[in-house]
Structure 1
Amino acid sequence: MHYFQYNARDMLGKAKRGKVQADNRSEALEKLQAQQLIVFKLRELNRTLNKELSFGKRVKKKEFIIFLRQLSTLIEAGVSLVEATGLLQEQTKDKFLKETLKVVRTDLVEGVRFSDSVEKHPKIFPELFVNMIRAGEASGELDDVLNKMAVYYEKQYDMRQKVITAMSYPVLVAFVAIGICVALLVVVFPQFTGMFASMDAELPAYTAFVLSLSEGMQKYWYLGIVFLLLCAVLYRVIISKPEGKLFIDKVRLRIPVLGSFYQKAILARMTRTMSSLLESSVPILDTLQISSRILQNKVMEQVIQDCYETIEKGDSLAKPMEAHWAFPPMITQMIRVGEKSGSLDSLLHRAADFYEQELDYAAERLKAMLEPILILILSAMVGSIVTAVVIPMFSMYENLQ
């Protein structure tokens, strides 16, 4: 996307100046002409110097949700969009959001539609939000759409926090286990090296192996860092390619226990997004396009793209899902019933509620299941190193007797 600065006049002759986001100059002109503006000057802004890009800064999810909830409340209370944006600009603590709302308010004062204004700031306002706002403006139900968006992003935030909480526990235990083992091998185990050297008896094979591992880690510790860096670089290279990203996402869905949890999180996000868009009268094809881009999983994204092609041919939306292992029968059945009854948005809403509840249960089950397993693994790792010290000590004790 490129940014273009324009000078124009509206049908009443009032001067207009601002920025528009488009893929090229022709698209920028079309967008401005659609707003009934007569353009006198249009130039592309330097991407590096363009303030709207702000060098990759983003607003925190929580700040964005607070902004949405407050904006929805103000609009429902009868406050105009210009006044509401001005009030929120003054009270928000996020510097980047404050600067952006200032630009949005200026656009609104100059007669730019809210959807066109927020579209210029993709780092703050997601594509889903922009399309929902556009649908709300077309239907005259902007206040209702803003409320739905506030609820939607609150649910997405809560779901994301649940996933992070569920996954952080095993990751933390894994790091602790690795840290303890490294400390035992590098700090504790070498203390017994002198004692082992003084023994006339040959060390057991297992103790000799652990001893060589300890010495290797002390001498070549930097190789471990190099290995981790290479793994990180390799991972980045793999996911940078479509085939690699597809492979990684497929593996994530196939992992025992964790894969099912990950699948439920994606299905909850998909159904919630689709139901929100359809309830706001967004066309089904646009709904599928937007939904596929927010799934963050190439496997399911491809299926949604297949659904897009299926709908274009006049076939059922559920057909590609039924043929794919990543979509459970329940979701495909609900979609089929929704298509036949004309209540697809309502059934997707119920499906979203179901999978969000399932995600709660899955998070609890995952924690309950992983806790004893991880403790056993940690105990086994520490015990195996301690055993390497104890075995030769028993041998030494037997020799003394």
Structure 2
Amino acid sequence: MIDYKYSAISSSGESVSGSIAAASKSEAVRALIEQSMSPVEVQPAGKPARKNRVRNRDLEALFSNLADLLDAGVPLVRAIELLVSRSRNNGLTPILNDIRTQVANGTRLSEAMASHPKVFTSFAINIIRAGEEGGFIEDSLRNLAVFTERSEDLRGRILGAIAYPVFLVVTGGILFLTMMVFFVPRFQIIFERLEKRGELPLPTIVLLKFSALLKNDYLYVGVIGIIAGFALWKWLRTEGGRVYRDHFLLQAWGIGKIIRQYAISRFCRVLGTMLKNGVPIMASLEISRHVTGNIILSNAIAKASESIASGRSLAAPLNQSKQFSEELIELIRVGETTNRLDDILMKAGDSLERQANRRLDLYVRMLEPCLLLIMAVLILFLLLALLLPVLQSAGSLT
């Protein structure tokens, strides 16, 4: 017999945990069912289960399924129990169990989720809180599911776009360093006589010096590189470093406009979603400014929220910051005038994302041949630097 630790839901709806002896895991599950309990997790004692990371896809399914169950008239506590029994992510299961227990004891769903800040963002919590207060929690959960799905699709699109260029850079870099460390030094002996006579071409001298540096002083080069990288990493974590980094990213040629469009697209979509779900504009601005992921844009939005608090419009201070396009400013101005700011912001976010996607696709298509061209130039330089002395020697013999 083996001791198994379990967590389950009793027939009265309470969460219970303990241990049970059984010949196998399936027998332990069968024994719990015979005791009128619904097993949630069963693991051998002394062998803790490895908790899976809660991904955005898991949260999307959670919000969507919970909205469907509530829309069908299932009580909230029972709906969470059903989600626990269906959950295949043992990282999310204990969190749902805790939320179910809190809700059963009278805690609001938003407050129960707020006790798990590493899983549920302040954006999601505020959306759910607004739905609870306005009586449209099903719509709030469904909007959250859609937003989470689109955010994950965007993340996957960006990672997919840069995967091949990164592969080319890494592969090309490894190939070049391998040739410089193991292949080029073999020519050093061949070129010694020409070097003493001062007849080596400049490209060959540069190549041999660089190869010798990598081969003989790799330890110093590595230490200096690590120290410089660590110092840069520490500086970029400071307030001044982050401001400089974010300013540089927004102004970078080509990629800067894509980064700006994606950041403002997230801001527009989050702000529009929160306003549509009844979250007050000041709280919406405070939360949505952080989703830009850029200090420059976040500070511009913070100044705009101060203007809102003073009773002025949102469009004017955003226009003064010079960080937002004239088209977006005009759309916000129209939205404030017609009282349709939430819909206009969500449509503007969609439009900016489509523009950024098209621009990203174009740059990725241009980047691949450019990287191949750079690799070809490096290899051509290496070959010419090695062949020029041979050609010069052959010419002198003739």
TM range (shorter): 0.7 to 0.9
Structure 1 distance, partners of 2:149, 2:248, is 29
Q: Give the AA of the match of 1:146.
A: L
Please say if 1:135 is aligned against 2:109.
Answer: no
Q: Secondary structure at the match of 1:233?
A: helix
Question: Is the Cα contact below 8 Å between 2:181 and 2:214 reproduced in 1?
Answer: yes
Structure 1 residues 232 and 87, CA, compared in 2 at 3 Å: closer, same or farther?
farther
Query: Unaligned regions of 5+ residues in structure 2, if any?
Result: 1-50
Structure 2 distance, partners of 1:262, 1:337, is 25
Structure 2 distance, partners of 1:151, 1:71, is 13
Report the equivalent of 2:68: 73
Q: Secondary structure at the match of 2:324?
A: coil
How many aligned residue pairs are there?
A: 346
Report the equivalent of 2:246: 249
Deviations 1:196-216 (A, max 9, x none): 225575211221121011011
Question: Is the Cα contact below 8 Å between 1:58 and 1:124 reproduced in 2?
Answer: no
1:357-376 mapped onto 2 (5 Å cutoff): 357-376=354-373
Q: In the TM superposition, what is the alpha-carbon distance from 1:288 to its structure 2 partner?
A: 0.3
Question: Is the Cα contact below 8 Å between 2:52 and 2:90 reproduced in 1?
Answer: no
Structure 1 residues 94 and 325, CA, compared in 2 at 3 Å: closer, same or farther?
same
Structure 1 distance, partners of 2:364, 2:393, is 44
Q: Residue 235 of structure 1: which of 225, 232, 236 is its match?
A: 232
1:2-401 mapped onto 2 (5 Å cutoff): 59-197=54-192, 199=194, 202-401=199-398
Q: In the TM superposition, what is the alpha-carbon distance from 1:58 to its structure 2 partner?
A: 5.1
Structure 2 distance, partners of 1:298, 1:283, is 23
Deviations 1:13-58 (A, max 9, x none): xxxxxxxxxxxxxxxxxxxxxxxxxxxxxxxxxxxxxxxxxxx995
TM-score by length of structure 1 reads 0.82
Q: Secondary structure at the match of 1:95?
A: coil
The worse-fitting range, judged by mean Cα deviation, of 315-324 and 245-254 is 315-324
Structure 2 distance, partners of 1:381, 1:259, is 27
Structure 2 distance, partners of 1:328, 1:233, is 36
**RMSD of aligned residue pairs (Cα, Å):** 1.8
Q: In the TM superposition, what is the alpha-carbon distance from 1:87 to its structure 2 partner?
A: 2.0
Question: Is the Cα contact below 8 Å between 2:263 and 2:291 reproduced in 1?
Answer: no
Structure 2 distance, partners of 1:207, 1:274, is 59
Quote the sequence identity (%).
Answer: 28
Structure 2 distance, partners of 1:95, 1:397, is 72
Structure 1 residues 337 and 234, CA, compared in 2 at 3 Å: closer, same or farther?
same
Q: Give the AA of the match of 1:117.
A: A
Question: Is the Cα contact below 8 Å between 1:135 and 1:281 reproduced in 2?
Answer: yes
TM-score by length of structure 2 reads 0.83
Q: In the TM superposition, what is the alpha-carbon distance from 1:314 to its structure 2 partner?
A: 1.2
Query: Unaligned regions of 5+ residues in structure 1, if any?
Result: 1-55
Q: In the TM superposition, what is the alpha-carbon distance from 1:385 to its structure 2 partner?
A: 1.4
Q: Give the AA of the match of 1:167.
A: I
Deviations 1:311-341 (A, max 9, x none): 0111110112212232111111110110011
Q: Secondary structure at the match of 2:191?
A: helix
